[in-house]
Structure 1
Amino acid sequence: MTPLARLPVSEAQIAQVVSRFYASVRAHEELGPIFAAHIVDWPAHEEKIVRFWRNALLRERIYDGNPMQVHRAAGNVRPEHFEVWLSVFDETLFAVLPSDLAQVWSAIAHNIGRALRYGLERRATPDGVPVLT
């Protein structure tokens, strides 16, 4: 764990959560088809998401993607999917981690989920003024 880490989670725990979460996603009736439409190389995707969480939780600066752009560009990701996503993610966190650690990580994930959902709910008028739908 790095000195600037947001919480005491190990790289191995992050990898375990990500792996178990995506196993659940692939089997999930609603989320599975959404992810399958975009992810061909699951190991590479999981590695990227491990880097995302290491960046978010351990502040390692090893992730350089743009989740908002990716989710907007997907075309089949809807704001209401984040509630389902977070439910599956929470189940994974509490199955893998001690409860106190799972709660903190869950709060961070819910903040990220709210931001992504908001970004998908926004649309702009022709003059660039955002409109909430």
Structure 2
Amino acid sequence: MSPASPPTHDDLARLVDHFYDTVRADALLGPVFNAAIDDWDAHKATLVDFWSSVILGTGSYRGNPMAAHRPHPIIDAHFGHWLALWRQATTDTLSPAHAALLQDRAARIATSLRYGLGLDPARPLRRSTIHDHPPRD
């Protein structure tokens, strides 16, 4: 069930900021993201535009998610872990209804990306938890 009103742009910005701060410090995803991203402020702004387009219909994102992910050494295990961190970040920063909406959309997008990257979207993801890969010191 969708919430009566969508999250705001500021809600999405707060979520993206919190999520990517967590990703940067994560033992599994941090090395992949830190090697790929030189300007974190610009990356976060792009992702706020992406989620604003997906959730709010703003059309502010003009990129190609598949092309953006294709050059990186992404493996299937990254998807389950990314989604676990995303679930935690949405729960930490949004209302339960907004968190559920963003979690559902992220899972659908992950399935599409897995397919596009030649991974097997029919194979269930191992449900990772944030405790599977503790943050680096």
Instruction: Give the shorter-chain TM-score range.
Output: 0.7 to 0.9
1:74-125 Cα shifts (integer Å, max 9, x gaps):
2x11222111101101100001111121111110111001111111125xxx
Structure 2: state its 5+ residue gaps: 123-137
Aligned counterpart, 1:43 = 41
Structure 1 distance, partners of 2:74, 2:69, is 6
**Does structure 2 conserve the Cα–Cα contact (< 8 Å) formed by 1:90 and 1:106?**
yes
State the structure with more CA Rg.
Answer: 1
1-side partners of 2:25 and 2:39: how far apart? 16
| Partners of 1:61 and 1:104 in 2: CA distance | 18
8 Å CA contact 1:17, 1:92 repeated in 2:
yes
- SS for the counterpart of 1:37 is helix
Structure 1 residues without counterparts, runs of 5 or longer: 1-5, 123-131
Identical positions, percent: 36
Match of 2:105 in 1: 108
Out of 118, 122, 130, which is 1:121 matched to? 118
Q: Distance in 1 between matches of 2:51 and 2:108?
A: 13
- Alignment pair present for 1:85 and 2:82: yes
**Residue of 37, 45, 60 corresponding to 1:62:** 60
The code of the aligned residue for 1:78 comes to I
Q: Give a deviation string over 1:36-55, Cα, whole Å, max 9, x none.
A: 11101000000000000000
Q: What are the superposed Cα offsets for residues 49-68 of structure 1, whole Å, 9 maximum, x if unpaired?
A: 00000000000011111111
Aligned twin of 1:28: 26
Q: Which amino acid aligns with 1:44?
A: A
| Aligned residue type for 2:52 | R
- TM-superposed CA distance for 1:7, in Å, is 5.3
Q: State the shift of 1:73 in Å.
A: 1.7
**Structure 1 length normalisation: TM-score?**
0.83
SS of the residue corresponding to residue 59 of structure 2 reads coil
Compare the two structures and name the one with the higher strand fraction. Answer: 1
The count of residues paired between Structure 1 and Structure 2 equals 119
Relative to the length of structure 2, the TM-score reads 0.81
Partner Cα distance (1:48, 1:88) in 2: 19
